[in-house]
Structure 1
Amino acid sequence: MFVLALFSGPATTLFAADSENTRPNVLWITSEDNGPHLGCYGDTYADTPHIDKLASRGTIYLNCWSNAPVCAPARTTLITGMYPTCLGAEHMRSMVKLPKQFLMYPQYLREAGYYCTNNSKEDYNVAKSGKVWDDSSRKAHWKNRKPGQPFFAVFNHTISHESKIRNRPHTLVHDPAKARVPAYHPDTPEVRHDWAQYYDRITEMDALVGKNLKELAEAGLADDTIIFYYGDHGSGMPRSKRWPYNSGLQVPLVIYIPPKFRNLASSDYQTDGESDRLVSFVDFAPTLLSLAGIEPPKHMQGYAFLGQHQTKPQDYLFGFRGRMDERYDLVRSVRNKRYVYIRNYMPHKEYGQYLNYMFQTPTTQVWKRMYDEGKLVPPQTYFWETKPAEELYDLQSDQDEVHNLVGSDKHLNVLNELREAQHQKLLAIRDLGFMPEAEIHRLADGRAPYLVGHNSQLYPMPEILAMADLASSRKPHCEAELLAGLKNSNDVVRYWAAMGFLIRGQQAVQQAAPQLRAALQDSSKSVRCIAAEALGRYGNQQDVQAGVKTLLSLSNLNKDGLYVAMLALNGLDKLGPEKTASVQDQIAKLPLKNDKIDRRLQNYVTRLVERIQEQQQQNEK
């Protein structure tokens, strides 16, 4: 079997590392949209011989999180060694600047003499400054380095991506009857087919990993190369990908350290071993630098878990969710080795907001259709309903995370522990996600948003977080505090105060109607959007008309910018086709493109407009 050659290949070749070189090569093999659904993780349905063999020579990490449950923010965490939430980069396919003194990890490696290649996906939410890779392309390869030069190389495999589990026709190899259907999914032929096809793609991905390992062995580099295999976030199935549950954040991580570099290993590393150490993507860049003998820069927020500069194990992992494609949301999560806590700051939004891309998956379509037809029972119904402010799950007894323990007296201590850990992390990194995306870009004004987040005048984090906590808690009898928030001098505090009324619904909005009407003229367009949505959904007839008019006026991306337009269009969509019927012609005339916008964001306004029109057409039938 060719993977065995990885550990018994030729001793030297043209590109073999110099025997006197004490710096290891590092090979990262990554795969897209798959959790730890591998044989080496005890999944008997999986067929992954090559990764399993690698695991038998190294260590698997049982508790590894991607920090973000979707590709671009997760990859931003990797490339920076920082939480994108403090960079203004948490949103799916946003683009922001880093402070000039913050480099991406390949730049530190290249300064130290490493040849760095990426084959080939980048998809970062932060702009590159200067030369990052020696080569980042489909032809990028460690073999193009100078003789004896240490290398760092990434090979990224896309065959397990979400788009590959729904493309048809596909002849299944895995028996769908034997697939495990999680408790939150309905047990239908479509769902079983998608799960079986997902496992088929994992097997195909495993074969590609095997080719990477074989090539390394045949080059005689196995004894000189530390190997990481990992996925980029949870599976592409709905309620895994895009959601900061453990199911969306847990990824496989297998690391092999050859004997000559075992001095760089940690105490929990062992051959054919398992580590329950808590590690996440924010730790990868510091760990990589540590393996290369480079002290991680102080601005990196992760902790090295291998190498010369390794640190002690951490007690928690942290996850996040921001805007997913065209839909806004704000969720934070934290876990220890047993429990995961989730904080929903926009609980008035359904889990399964309509995302054009997600709804192309057959599982999503049949799941929503059955919900609309009343054919589902809890926990299969939860995904299509609004969220509680807090969630707590015992991963030991509830791997599908469907039994919320927030109301359990028995779990009050762990709830308070994780709640406080999450709160302190937000403050420590100065999480910018509580600022509307449009405000981030307006205040940054071409600079790095990180600098805005660390300016206490522009971003009084404790005050903003206190209002966001209050607004999203659904705590009763706090109208006076929310009304005071609407008068605050800070735009973001006012935004969360308006959000607090929207979250509480009709009675609260009607009580605060005069103040919300005044907020339609707020200096912040983001505040106007939320006030307009609140009045449009829960106000009287005149309020509805004013809300629609305000949201429509803010939906022109050429006039008000992409992020304001997306927020306004999300509001119009939530008002529904009956309330927006009179402005459908104007919605149809909205500009859909702007060549100055990053190409990855070009379709989001189009999707929102098309969805509003589609809902109107369905309503008229």
Structure 2
Amino acid sequence: MKRLLSHYVILANCFVALFSCQSPEPEPVKPNILFISIDDLRPTLGVYGDPIAITPNIDQLAAEGFTFRNTFSQVAVCAPSRASLMTGIRPDSTRVWHLGDKFREINPNTVTMPQHFAKFGYHTVNLGKIFHNYMPDSISWDEPDLRPAHYVRPDWLGRDGETFYISEEVHKSQAIKRDSLLLLNPTRYADGWNTGPAWEAADVHDSAYYDGAQNELTKATLTRLAKMDQPFFMGLGYFRPHLPFTAPKKYWDYYDPEKIPLAANPNVPENAPNFTMNSMYELRHYDGFNHIGHPQSDYRMSEDTARILKHGYYASVSYVDALLGSLIAHMKETGIYENTIIILWGDHGWKLGDHNSWGKMTNYNIDLQVPMIIRYPNQANKGGQTFELTELVDMFPSLCELAGIEVPNYMQGTSFVPLIKEPERPWKTAAFSQFHRRPQHSADGRRYMGYSINTKNYHYIEWYDWDPATGTRGELKSSELFDSINDPTETINVALKTEYSSIVKDLSVQLAAGWKAAKPTAE
């Protein structure tokens, strides 16, 4: 009897083993990632309450996804902002503080977001500006720096997608100027091509400009990736609305320039230190703007010119919006939309006459606040939004969580996934940013580092002497405080007013405590 029972046990175990071998648990299909950067995009969008912006496709993405209404960049300039969000750590950790700093040279062992996703089976592809312009960081991608065939020329390899015009006369002028500029500085920004008019409105097809041509290549690449047996992580960086404001004429025609309001806060903040503003050197590179003055001077731009520039910015945003709509329609046609996480973000804001300035590169919120919108498979809270504080550095851990892969333990941001599920839950108590003011762009000709903290009620900034060789701050030189409830456009610095002294003291302590102390508490 014992022998018979033994046979039954062995037979049962064989059946269990057989079925366990034949019916393994299928691994969940990982979602694709479409990681969309729109250069210099402030929240000038319909979904963010802008009554002028014509952005139906971004607004539709928000309706199908989730919108973060109070997101802050860690630095209001391209290279430091992107280095931070792509590595998941903050500027004082990347040690990328201005445009010339290169994170891969500073720390060759840096692991970027696409590198991390590649460890978990993702095929990584880059088109356009994800890192800073001509620094595609080939280590990060299986397919780095894909470009439309027309633009793959030896003399254009260091050229940025933002620098192309339709006008042949402008192209010829750029080439002549470039020769002289490179003689003066062989490492000049954009390989010397960033000259020409500040705007262009050619009556051409969307694909005639670089972003449009890149969009067509993106669609072809997505068709190819859809046939692969592994998930993809695609970084797609649109160049507009970065200067120059070049977009097909039909997008300019969307707007009546007389109905586009000029900046509501056209002056440098009252009581601001004399080094808070950037010199607008970016705009100065373009034809007719070579001799514009510093914002912290008596200089004022004419209303006619201001209207053209602001018109160009809006036209450029609508152009990119149309490209995005075409891209998403293609994704739906190829069947990859439903299983793709799409996240859209701007790397920093941009002043459109605000604070008597055009461009970015300050610690003011017009430069720090950015759009961030996400849509992902099986999302329950479609069309949701939150006004809780979030930061661009939060994207890395959030995408890991949504994709079901390991979150690196050194992340300095916080996954916002719980916030999507509960948009009104208590979240971060503050968001942190900073800016390195260099002597050549400061009104007083000195160097500073400004550290910024945003809470729901206040924006507080401390400015210090800065040693660029050691990356250390010295003496506190000045501070700024803005009442975000009563003065949302930051017109008056109230840091020295006695009625705010206790608030300044508390915020200074909170700023010194840093981002770790501001993290949301677990429930």
Same fold (TM over 0.5): yes
Task: Kindly indicate whether residue 40 of structure 2 is the aligned counterpart of residue 33 of structure 1.
Answer: yes
Give the 3 Å change call, closer, same or farther, for CA 426–37 of structure 1 in structure 2.
Answer: closer
Task: Kindly indicate whether residue 293 of structure 2 is the aligned counterpart of residue 178 of structure 1.
Answer: no
Does structure 2 retain, via aligned residues, the 8 Å contact 1:33–1:231? yes
Match for 2:51 among 38, 44, 51? 44
For residues 364-391 of structure 1, give each alpha carbon's deviation from its aligned partner in whole angstroms, at most 9, with x where no partner exists: xxxxxxxxxxxxxxxxxxxxxxx98111
Does structure 1 retain, via aligned residues, the 8 Å contact 2:96–2:102? yes
Does structure 2 retain, via aligned residues, the 8 Å contact 1:90–1:323? no
For residues 556-612 of structure 1, give each alpha carbon's deviation from its aligned partner in whole angstroms, at most 9, with x where no partner exists: xxxxxxxxxxxxxxxxxxxxxxxxxxxxxxxxxxxxxxxxxxxxxxxxxxxxxxxxx
Aligned ranges 1:196-211 → 2 under 5 Å: 196-211=311-326
Provide the C-alpha distance between the structure 2 equivalents of 1:216 and 1:342, rounded to a whole number of angstroms.
Answer: 43
Q: Percent identity?
A: 29
Does structure 1 retain, via aligned residues, the 8 Å contact 2:431–2:453? yes
Does structure 2 retain, via aligned residues, the 8 Å contact 1:79–1:105? yes
Does structure 2 retain, via aligned residues, the 8 Å contact 1:174–1:197? no
Match for 1:258 among 343, 363, 377? 377
What is the CA distance between 1:125 and its match in structure 2?
11
Structure 2 residue matching 1:294: 3-state secondary structure? coil
Which deviates more, 47-56 or 297-306?
297-306
1:224 matched residue in structure 2:
339
1:362 matched residue in structure 2:
none
1:377 matched residue in structure 2:
none
Match for 2:390 among 279, 285, 297? 279
Provide the C-alpha distance between the structure 1 equivalents of 2:325 and 2:110, rounded to a whole number of angstroms.
Answer: 35
CA root-mean-square deviation: 3.6
Aligned ranges 1:545-556 → 2 under 5 Å: none
Amino acid at match of 1:418: L
Task: Kindly indicate whether residue 510 of structure 2 is the aligned counterpart of residue 425 of structure 1.
Answer: no
Does structure 2 retain, via aligned residues, the 8 Å contact 1:120–1:136? no
Does structure 2 retain, via aligned residues, the 8 Å contact 1:28–1:154? yes
Give the 3 Å change call, closer, same or farther, for CA 308–182 of structure 1 in structure 2.
Answer: closer
2:235 matched residue in structure 1:
154
TM-score of the superposed pair, with normalisation by structure 1: 0.53
1:9 matched residue in structure 2:
none
For residues 78-134 of structure 1, give each alpha carbon's deviation from its aligned partner in whole angstroms, at most 9, with x where no partner exists: 211111222321122212445566411211110100112121224459999883111
Amino acid at match of 1:133: W
What is the CA distance between 1:326 and its match in structure 2?
5.5
Provide the C-alpha distance between the structure 1 equivalents of 2:63 and 2:335, rounded to a whole number of angstroms.
Answer: 20
What is the CA distance between 1:70 and its match in structure 2?
0.9
Amino acid at match of 1:212: L
Provide the C-alpha distance between the structure 1 equivalents of 2:247 and 2:64, rounded to a whole number of angstroms.
Answer: 34
**Quick check: which one's strand share is greater?**
2
Structure 1 residue matching 2:487: 3-state secondary structure? coil
1:334 matched residue in structure 2:
453
Amino acid at match of 1:319: S
Provide the C-alpha distance between the structure 2 equivalents of 1:85 and 1:53, rounded to a whole number of angstroms.
Answer: 37
1:319 matched residue in structure 2:
433
Structure 2 residue matching 1:152: 3-state secondary structure? strand
Give the 3 Å change call, closer, same or farther, for CA 102–34 of structure 1 in structure 2.
Answer: closer
2:3 matched residue in structure 1:
none
Which deviates more, 219-228 or 96-105?
96-105
Provide the C-alpha distance between the structure 2 equivalents of 1:164 and 1:400, rounded to a whole number of angstroms.
Answer: 24
What is the CA distance between 1:288 and its match in structure 2?
1.6
Give the 3 Å change call, closer, same or farther, for CA 142–414 of structure 1 in structure 2.
Answer: farther
Structure 2 residue matching 1:116: 3-state secondary structure? strand
**Quick check: which one's helix share is greater?**
1
Structure 1 residue matching 2:514: 3-state secondary structure? helix
Amino acid at match of 1:198: Y
Task: State the structure with bigger RCO (CA 8 A, min sep 6), 1 or 2.
Answer: 2
Give the 3 Å change call, closer, same or farther, for CA 125–256 of structure 1 in structure 2.
Answer: closer
Give the 3 Å change call, closer, same or farther, for CA 138–338 of structure 1 in structure 2.
Answer: farther
What is the CA distance between 1:408 and its match in structure 2?
3.5
Does structure 2 retain, via aligned residues, the 8 Å contact 1:98–1:127? no
Structure 1 residue matching 2:140: 3-state secondary structure? coil
Does structure 2 retain, via aligned residues, the 8 Å contact 1:56–1:272? yes
Provide the C-alpha distance between the structure 1 equivalents of 2:53 and 2:429, rounded to a whole number of angstroms.
Answer: 30
Task: Kindly indicate whether residue 399 of structure 2 is the aligned counterpart of residue 288 of structure 1.
Answer: yes
Match for 1:411 among 494, 500, 513? 500
Q: Which runs of 5+ in 2 are unaligned?
A: 1-25, 148-217, 268-299, 442-446, 467-475, 519-523
Provide the C-alpha distance between the structure 2 equivalents of 1:416 and 1:194, rounded to a whole number of angstroms.
Answer: 40
1:303 matched residue in structure 2:
414
Structure 1 residue matching 2:341: 3-state secondary structure? strand
Does structure 1 retain, via aligned residues, the 8 Å contact 2:222–2:331? no
Give the 3 Å change call, closer, same or farther, for CA 122–231 of structure 1 in structure 2.
Answer: closer
Provide the C-alpha distance between the structure 1 equivalents of 2:37 and 2:482, rounded to a whole number of angstroms.
Answer: 28
2:483 matched residue in structure 1:
394
Q: Which runs of 5+ in 1 are unaligned?
A: 1-18, 263-269, 348-386, 430-621
Does structure 2 retain, via aligned residues, the 8 Å contact 1:115–1:142? no
Provide the C-alpha distance between the structure 2 equivalents of 1:47 and 1:405, rounded to a whole number of angstroms.
Answer: 36
Provide the C-alpha distance between the structure 1 equivalents of 2:494 and 2:67, rounded to a whole number of angstroms.
Answer: 29
For residues 496-539 of structure 1, give each alpha carbon's deviation from its aligned partner in whole angstroms, at most 9, with x where no partner exists: xxxxxxxxxxxxxxxxxxxxxxxxxxxxxxxxxxxxxxxxxxxx
TM-score of the superposed pair, with normalisation by structure 2: 0.62
Provide the C-alpha distance between the structure 2 equivalents of 1:125 and 1:91, rounded to a whole number of angstroms.
Answer: 14
Structure 2 residue matching 1:253: 3-state secondary structure? strand
Task: Kindly indicate whether residue 116 of structure 2 is the aligned counterpart of residue 108 of structure 1.
Answer: yes
Structure 2 residue matching 1:226: 3-state secondary structure? strand
1:23 matched residue in structure 2:
30
Provide the C-alpha distance between the structure 1 equivalents of 2:248 and 2:435, rounded to a whole number of angstroms.
Answer: 26
Amino acid at match of 1:244: N
